[in-house]
Structure 1
Amino acid sequence: MLDRDAKQVGFVGVSDLDAAQRFYGDVVGLPLEDARPFALVHDGEHAQLRITLVDDVRAAPYTVAGWAVADIEAEIDRLATAGVVFRRYDGMDQDERGIWTAPGGARIAWFGDPDGNTLSLQAL
């Protein structure tokens, strides 16, 4: 059994670390540690995200990473201003910003990175 204080580490595969640096660092706003030639690392308080260089990115049709944010509308507006396009899904009642409200009340919006990986924002 893992130690209950173990820090979670997530991985996102990308084809170009320079493009990933621009997107995840400059656009999304994550402070990144350069671990080239293999990865970029975002070391958050509760989790670490390793943005890893891979030979063959196969973007999954589901969310691979996401962030819970205090003001989802403001984050969507900031990202949209930077050129991020939020995804819309058939059969999901999403508002004008692309936010879907789950039956349990969770509010979520999805967008993609330059390699097509699906990312999300969730309201706290």
Structure 2
Amino acid sequence: MLKDHPVDVVLLSKDLDASREFYEKRLGLDVIEATDTAITYSSGNTRLKVTASTVGTKDEQTQAEWRVLDLRAELEELKHRGVEPENYDTDELKTVDGIADQGDAWVAYLIDPDGNALGIGQAK
């Protein structure tokens, strides 16, 4: 049964070199496997695969989200690595210092070099 097996997140990239710099250097993920067409990273007990694409991501919704225990601490670490969370001020989403209150969780969003929206969430 599928429910008994892990599932990997797969993101599309038009520039694997830029993606590699972002995910390894900026986010600090470890490479499990790398080929000319894909890079697979370790993140907790899951894997994130970035795959070469000629079109990249066409969707603006969140493609992947990390669940963390201390969102502010994670954002501080990312800021030291040169990554700033996105800021929003819309009817649907408003952030303060890059963090949105989603009712049951606090969430921050990052955008990778290919426009993939990445979330980081902390349950309340």
TM-score bucket (shorter structure): 0.7 to 0.9
Q: Which residue of 2 aligns with 1:80?
A: 79
Give 1:86 shift. Answer: 1.5
Q: CA deviation at 1:35?
A: 2.2
Q: 1:86 to 1:31 in 2, by over 3 A?
A: same
What is the match of residue 95 of structure 1?
96
Aligned counterparts, 1:45-56, within 5 A: 46-56=45-55
Instruction: Tell me what 1:60 maps to.
Output: 59
| Cα pair 2:87 2:94 within 8 Å, conserved | no
**Partners of 1:40 and 1:7 in 2: how far apart?**
18
Quick one: distance in 2 between partners of 1:112 and 1:3? 30
Q: 1:115 Cα shift? A: 1.0
CA distance in 2, matches of 1:52, 1:30: 16
Aligned residue identity for 1:25: E
Distance change >3 Å, CA 45–CA 81, structure 1 → 2: closer
Counterpart in the other structure of 1:24: 23
**How far apart are 1:85 and its partner, in Å?**
2.6
Q: 1:6-45, aligned counterparts within 5 Å?
A: 6-44=5-43
Task: Report the TM-score, using the length of structure 2 for normalisation.
Answer: 0.86
Whose strand proportion is higher, 1 or 2? 2
Letter in 2 for 1:112: I
Q: 2:35 and 2:16 mapped to 1: Cα distance?
A: 8
TM-score, reference length from structure 1: 0.86
- What is the root-mean-square deviation in Å for CA atoms of aligned residues? 1.7
What secondary structure is seen at the aligned counterpart in 2 of 1:115?
A: coil
Q: 5+ residue gaps in structure 1?
A: none
Aligned residues: 121
The aligned counterpart of 2:110 is 111
Q: Which amino acid is 1:70 matched to?
A: L
Cα distance, 1:113 vs. partner? 0.4
**Match for 1:16: what amino acid?**
D
